[in-house]
Chain A
């Protein structure tokens, strides 16, 4: 079934493209293939299977994030602004899901890297405001580092080679996602499928979980230490840069970009702690990125383009609370788990994390202001997202059990 989770969205993107000008039929086809892919992802077994010479495997944590990615794509199409070309969005979403599923289910690390490389190239070639070179640099470099990591892991038995592989793996994934030091500019006028948010909020979560669960599996214990240290170092860097950049930004697209960075910093630290709590925290944060921060950014994008006066409404306070990771939303449980795990390793790290988390409280209020005066569609979307996030926050054990971190 794992291969069907890749096949259905791929076929859906193709059929959607073929029927592009028959709008209703195209949307129906995209919906049918998307649902079929979701069912395949939910029912896939974790055992390794071989088809046409290719190994397919879907480990439990990757499966959970893949399923959440399907839901996030569905939300993006459902909550698209009035007048948006939903067929183009659905086709792009299914294409993205096919890329995510390829990364998630392909057993061969070189193939995973090639899938990332191809995705990077096609994504950068999409019409957008920034140049092709500017957009392809980081993800293509990341994909090439992943190829290097895969070849080194397979081809060398030396400790130095394994350490370089670990380093290349972490740097490759951070570069592909577009985290600091490979951070790209975010322009709200760019269509979402072509903007860096596609990597930061949609393709990145599965890639990072695949890195943590499968790609790093070939590293020895000694190389694993170096891998964890680089992850924590990059996590702290992204967290610090996110907070600092957020404080210096006006309420706008830049603030959103740094808010993604802040969440990703916490994710990297959580994964680098190499503990069950750390992994659980990282998984909850990734779910929160996919089901809250990404769709909220998509809802706020039309207001960001208009650059109207920032306004805060009563519902905005709830949005701010959810974005900052306050109780009872999903981010709270994630932050609590992360602090518990970090304090078990080194209290200065936990202290730094706590300060960085608290710094996002006022920044989240400024983020909530970017919605301006929300339309009824945006209000409905925000309410739906808050309910989903509340459900995850009230019962995080469900997600933790799915990813094997309970």
Chain B
């Protein structure tokens, strides 16, 4: 690999669309989620304070290794997005890398928090499977794993599948972003923390902040035409990403409001069968051929 490419990838990983961008955008999304999920805290300022409170104090040193590894994988997924000004060449971005990185990040978190009684591993595994369907089925008809190509794909026969995958993706986000109690080792944003303040809670908190951009950015890359490399393009991309985050918070709020029974019913009886039907539909439409 030429040194130029290495430099581009490093910039991408550390600055944009990697660490700095993910932390900034994730913090905004996390503050918004805290404000929406726990309005009793007051306005945006108390929400921001509660988000920053998860960061370790001066007495604590470092973050848990698993958390850092998972965050690094999430940043690798960020590089695969079709974001404007992404320094990684379009031909080098791959949906499969993003999928494996994010799944591995989630699994790292789970090996770390596997034995926590308040969590529901079955639900999270089901949601991950459904998310993979939403991520990979749109690639069946175009036979292409480049996110920007999928966002641009214009096969009329694939439109129903893409629409189904779009909804499936959105429905999976609350569990993948740790926004519901069944999938949040650290508790929902703004809620009473499940971990004692310290390194562990900080690790979980940081990881969720970093996860917003790759999940919502991949959504923007997969289901919308790529944004141009200019200011308007950046604004458009941010609007889609923040819109996606808003939708996932709204779904989470409805799930939390209606209770654990509804959440389980929603994921096992609605989202999982819908994913199976989406796969079936994708296969039938692929057999009918791209028109």
Q: Which residues of A contact B (CB under 8 A)?
A: 13-15, 17-22, 52-54, 108, 110-111, 114, 117-118, 121-122, 124-127, 132, 136, 140, 144, 147, 151, 154-155
Contact = CB atoms under 8 A, between A and B. Distances in A.
A249 B237 CA distance: 58
A279 to B, nearest CB: 28
B262 A126 contact: yes
Nearest to A110: B160
B242 interface: no
A17 B39 CA distance: 12
B253 interface: yes
B39 A22 contact: yes
Centre residue among A13, A17, A144 by max chain B CB count within 10 A: A17
B75 interface: no
Given A121-B273, A121-B274, A17 B250 contact: yes
A21 B39 contact: yes
Given A18-B249, A118-B274, A127 B258 contact: yes
A109 B265 CA distance: 28
Contacts of A54: 159, 163
A126 B281 contact: no
A122 B270 contact: yes
Interface in B207-235: 224-225
Nearest to B273: A121
B154 A17 contact: no
A17 B266 contact: no
B262 A125 contact: yes
B270 A121 contact: yes
Main secondary structure of the interface of A (DSSP, over half): helix
Interface of B: 36, 39-40, 154, 156, 159-160, 162-164, 167, 224-225, 246-247, 249-251, 253-254, 257-259, 261-262, 265-266, 269-270, 273-274, 277, 281, 284-285, 288
B159 A53 contact: yes
A21 B266 CA distance: 22
Contacts of B163: 54, 111, 114
Contact of B160 (A111, A132, A155): A111
Contacts of B274: 117-118, 121
B93 to A, nearest CB: 21
Nearest to B33: A18
B258 A126 contact: yes
A13 B246 CA distance: 12
Contacts of B253: 17-18, 20
A15 B262 CA distance: 21
A125 B269 contact: yes
A390 to B, nearest CB: 39
Contacts of A20: 253, 257
Main secondary structure of the interface of B (DSSP, over half): helix
A272 to B, nearest CB: 28
A52 B224 contact: yes
A18 B224 CA distance: 24
Contact of A132 (B246, B254, B269, B288): B269
Contacts of A140: 273
Contacts of B247: 14
B286 to A, nearest CB: 13
B246 A18 contact: yes
19 contacts: A13-B250, A17-B250, A18-B36, A18-B253, A22-B39, A53-B156, A53-B162, A54-B163, A108-B159, A110-B281, A121-B273, A121-B274, A122-B270, A125-B265, A125-B266, A125-B270, A126-B262, A127-B258, A136-B269
Contacts of A110: 160, 281, 285
Contacts of B36: 18-19
A121 B269 contact: yes
A14 B258 contact: no
10 smallest A-B Cβ distances: which pairs?
A121-B270, A110-B160, A14-B250, A17-B250, A18-B36, A125-B265, A21-B39, A125-B266, A111-B160, A17-B253
A155 B287 CA distance: 11
A22 B40 CA distance: 10
Contacts of A144: 277
Nearest to B36: A18
A193 to B, nearest CB: 11
Contacts of B246: 14, 18
Contacts of B285: 110
Contacts of A121: 269-270, 273-274
Given A52-B225, A126-B258, A132-B269, 5 more contacts: A18-B246, A21-B40, A121-B274, A125-B269, A151-B288
Nearest to A107: B159
Contact of A117 (B261, B262, B277): B277
Given A52-B224, A53-B162, A126-B262, A17 B254 contact: yes
Contacts of A13: 250
Nearest to B159: A53
B154 A53 contact: yes
Contacts of A108: 159-160
Given A52-B224, A121-B270, A136-B269, A127 B250 contact: no
A172 B274 CA distance: 17
Contacts of A127: 258-259, 261-262
A138 B265 CA distance: 17
Nearest to A52: B224
A117 B282 CA distance: 16
A122 B254 CA distance: 11
B28 to A, nearest CB: 15
A168 to B, nearest CB: 15
Given A14-B246, A18-B250, A117-B274, A111 B265 contact: no
Contacts of A132: 265, 269
A314 to B, nearest CB: 42
A151 B160 CA distance: 11
